[in-house]
A and B are shown apart, each in its own frame.
Chain A
């Protein structure tokens, strides 16, 4: 490919081919060979949605020579393909999927296999369930009044089932309790582990001497119920994680390297070193920081990197940050940093530093257990002392103390949080919002202020045209615009499509980076782009107006196209929702003051709460200051430059078309276009937290009734079993009530036609 003159559209083909090669190389590397010599590939196909998709894809892929099997996993939207050596080109798999009409994503990551943690939990759960059911059956016959010999036999059999079941299924709790004790702390698992082990020990003793009460069913049931909570919690997080993974990019994670002899090969992002010369096609993102080589020029979109909403032109020797999008022309550029020292990773590091502070956030369940655990142990110890003091034997005192430990074991408390959160996550998922962690609900419900980024968050990253453009002019302009990938051209072309206008035919098309597009339409020269350049060919015409996009064609007055950014739908209603709840709103942006002020005014931000031209670390500092002043903040942002802010804020939410960095760090990710997702997440989090609190209250109420009875020795194993199950059921039932309550959508925010709102948003467009 030539590197000197401005490339024309005509040689766009090699660029496309290079892009394809990039993906093909990466895909071929992603295959894993198993012991039988089959090579396994995994492709993520997010648009799978029906039974037809499954059979279309499986039949289409199985028809490729060398494909042994193809199986669609509908739940994870992934296709697993096993191939033999007969498959010449692995990339045929991706080509076939895309030919069938499904955009394919590479890089399913390490998550294509099984989730080992879930398998472990599942196994523990079924073992606990098996143990609980059988011990329960045997215990019922004991309670029903089996005679002495049978009773002892049943107790021994119960022990034989319960002890191994608890020791196997309870391992997650024992491990976590042990690590808490080693650190000198207490968590919810410490009283669970101590209670379970003491109870088991006591029951084994009673069963072997015969005649006493045994409590084998209590620990097995307790572990079973708690594991249900753990499994639900884990499944929720796993769903969110794989959902967020599926949003990952369509492009390859690498670049074409240009050798000193002009030959090219593919390097993965991790392999890029300073000094390498890379070829970046139009439409690709720059993988690392670097500078353009001599004689290279293009327009880049820095919106993800810096928040600047308008494309800027760069020429030879100009610096480009990683994450910037190459818009106009393929360029050669020299890497100045490796991936670990580029802007994106810089941001990642800032973000991780910010999140250190968040790690100290104590979840509600842990806060409760820090009070609860000492209370349980104290009550149990006091019971023992009390019984000794009132002249009972040590054996009776010990039995009473164990009864207290069992009855207070936080069965309902262990379910209170995860069940409510799983219900909440399910409701959000149906609205296209993914929640990364359970504690995100708690943090979201605590916020006292909301901080917004502008570019890509309040305004959509598209530029649109005004409506006052005649049809024939639009047809002429689209002739040029439809041949370019520059965002302004794309905006013009999509407007023409929207109005159903067929572009005229154009020839001799050429894209001039930094200036615009030119070509011939019906023999007349035409230009679309910067004012001074476009007007060179126009009939005599002068204007004192600068900026905007101009179209000129020989023998006609030039046309001025006004460009404006579009507000995200639902943004006004979202602002109102927060205003109604009295949360102050702030706007922090890296963009120019004029456009930030315009957006701020349209959405009713007060002057004092708007700040423009703020760098990434500046954003994080501001948020820190605001949080110190008004309490926890919700941050809504999307760019690479927002990553530190996303990490600093108490809780954060990002749109799914955000940068990878943003998606990796936000607590919530929403997939729709509407900003209404932000207020939805807030309101639903509030409801979830209220439900968690109700559950806690119910669980504690149960304890207030049960503990005194246990202390005075009124609790029998039968009573404990009944109390435990009912309290858990009540908590689960209350959480399901939340689901009913949230089934009616929280009023879907509706703005008046956003086009009208956007009218006010005139933007200075400069190409120079």
Chain B
């Protein structure tokens, strides 16, 4: 029982961490263009778009 009292918050905390990670990714536009990302890996030397000074 004492183990449980300790483990349940840990489990929930990890779950919440995953949830927060997803929401962060969604807000950052990681899910905006799923088809495009599938194709980008085929490009030879597509420079990262934000690297230009």
| Interface of A toward B, CB cutoff 8 Å | 50-52, 54-55, 58-59, 62, 67-76, 114, 119, 122-123, 126-127, 130, 133-134, 137, 149-150, 153, 157, 161
Give the nearest-CB partner of A52 in chain B.
B43
Are B36 and A72 within 8 A (Cβ)?
yes
Residues of B within 8 A of A50 (CB): 39
- A161 CA / B15 CA spacing, docked (Å): 12
Residues of B within 8 A of A67 (CB): 52
B2 to chain A, nearest CB (A): 11
Given contacts A69-B49, A70-B49, contact A75 B33 (CB under 8 A): yes
- A134 CA / B10 CA spacing, docked (Å): 12
A453 to chain B, nearest CB (A): 35
Residues of A within 8 A of B39 (CB): 50-51, 54, 74
| Interface of B toward A, CB cutoff 8 Å | 1, 4, 8, 11-12, 15-16, 18-19, 22-23, 26-27, 32-36, 39-40, 42-47, 49-50, 52
Besides the known contacts A58-B49, A74-B35, A130-B18, 6 further A-B residue pairs in the complex with CB atoms under 8 A apart = A54-B39, A59-B46, A69-B49, A130-B16, A134-B11, A150-B1
Residues of A within 8 A of B19 (CB): 126-127, 130
Give the nearest-CB partner of A150 in chain B.
B1
A169 to chain B, nearest CB (A): 12
Q: Specify the main secondary structure of chain B where it touches its partner.
A: helix
Residues of B within 8 A of A74 (CB): 33, 35-36, 39
Summed over the interface, the residue pairs from A and B with CB atoms below 8 Å come to a total of 73
Best-buried of B22, B27, B43 by chain A (most CB within 10 Å) = B43
Are B35 and A75 within 8 A (Cβ)?
yes
Are A69 and B52 within 8 A (Cβ)?
yes
Given contacts A73-B32, A75-B34, A119-B26, contact A157 B8 (CB under 8 A): yes
Are B47 and A62 within 8 A (Cβ)?
yes
Residues of A within 8 A of B18 (CB): 130
Are B46 and A73 within 8 A (Cβ)?
no
Give the nearest-CB partner of A63 in chain B.
B52
Residues of A within 8 A of B32 (CB): 73, 75, 114
Residues of A within 8 A of B35 (CB): 74-75
- A137 CA / B50 CA spacing, docked (Å): 43
A298 to chain B, nearest CB (A): 44
Given contacts A62-B52, A72-B36, contact A149 B1 (CB under 8 A): yes
- A123 CA / B31 CA spacing, docked (Å): 13
Are A126 and B23 within 8 A (Cβ)?
yes
Are B12 and A134 within 8 A (Cβ)?
yes
Given contacts A119-B26, A126-B23, contact A73 B36 (CB under 8 A): yes
- A414 CA / B49 CA spacing, docked (Å): 42
Partner of B43, one of A51, A130, A134, A149: A51
- A119 CA / B30 CA spacing, docked (Å): 13
- A50 CA / B42 CA spacing, docked (Å): 10
Q: Specify the main secondary structure of chain A where it touches its partner.
A: helix
Are A134 and B15 within 8 A (Cβ)?
yes
Residues of A within 8 A of B44 (CB): 55
- A485 CA / B17 CA spacing, docked (Å): 63
Are B33 and A73 within 8 A (Cβ)?
yes
Are A130 and B15 within 8 A (Cβ)?
yes
A207 to chain B, nearest CB (A): 15
Residues of B within 8 A of A150 (CB): 1, 4
- A149 CA / B4 CA spacing, docked (Å): 12
Give the nearest-CB partner of A53 in chain B.
B39
Residues of B within 8 A of A153 (CB): 4
Are A59 and B33 within 8 A (Cβ)?
no
Residues of B within 8 A of A70 (CB): 49
Given contacts A51-B39, A75-B36, contact A122 B26 (CB under 8 A): yes
Residues of B within 8 A of A137 (CB): 11
Give the nearest-CB partner of B32 in chain A.
A73
Are A62 and B36 within 8 A (Cβ)?
no
Partner of B33, one of A76, A126, A130, A149: A76
Are A51 and B50 within 8 A (Cβ)?
no
- A68 CA / B48 CA spacing, docked (Å): 12
A161 to chain B, nearest CB (A): 7
B35 to chain A, nearest CB (A): 5
Give the nearest-CB partner of A73 in chain B.
B33
B37 to chain A, nearest CB (A): 8
Residues of B within 8 A of A54 (CB): 36, 39-40, 43, 46
- A126 CA / B8 CA spacing, docked (Å): 20
B38 to chain A, nearest CB (A): 8
- A127 CA / B23 CA spacing, docked (Å): 9
- A149 CA / B33 CA spacing, docked (Å): 49
Residues of A within 8 A of B27 (CB): 119
A203 to chain B, nearest CB (A): 18
Write 13 A-B pairs (CB below 8 A) sorted by A numbering.
Answer: A51-B40, A51-B43, A59-B46, A62-B49, A62-B52, A67-B52, A69-B50, A69-B52, A74-B33, A75-B32, A126-B26, A149-B1, A153-B4
Are B46 and A55 within 8 A (Cβ)?
yes
B1 to chain A, nearest CB (A): 6
Give the nearest-CB partner of A68 in chain B.
B52
B17 to chain A, nearest CB (A): 11
- A316 CA / B31 CA spacing, docked (Å): 56
- A149 CA / B2 CA spacing, docked (Å): 12
Give the nearest-CB partner of A62 in chain B.
B52
- A691 CA / B15 CA spacing, docked (Å): 37
- A161 CA / B47 CA spacing, docked (Å): 44
A239 to chain B, nearest CB (A): 12
Which 9 A-B residue pairs are closest in the complex by CB-CB distance? Answer: A74-B36, A51-B39, A51-B42, A55-B43, A73-B33, A55-B46, A74-B35, A130-B19, A69-B49
- A591 CA / B53 CA spacing, docked (Å): 60
B7 to chain A, nearest CB (A): 12
- A360 CA / B8 CA spacing, docked (Å): 52
- A153 CA / B2 CA spacing, docked (Å): 12
- A67 CA / B43 CA spacing, docked (Å): 21
A136 to chain B, nearest CB (A): 12
Given contacts A69-B49, A69-B50, contact A133 B15 (CB under 8 A): yes
B46 to chain A, nearest CB (A): 4
- A70 CA / B49 CA spacing, docked (Å): 6
B18 to chain A, nearest CB (A): 8
Residues of A within 8 A of B34 (CB): 75
Give the nearest-CB partner of A133 in chain B.
B15
Residues of A within 8 A of B15 (CB): 130, 133-134
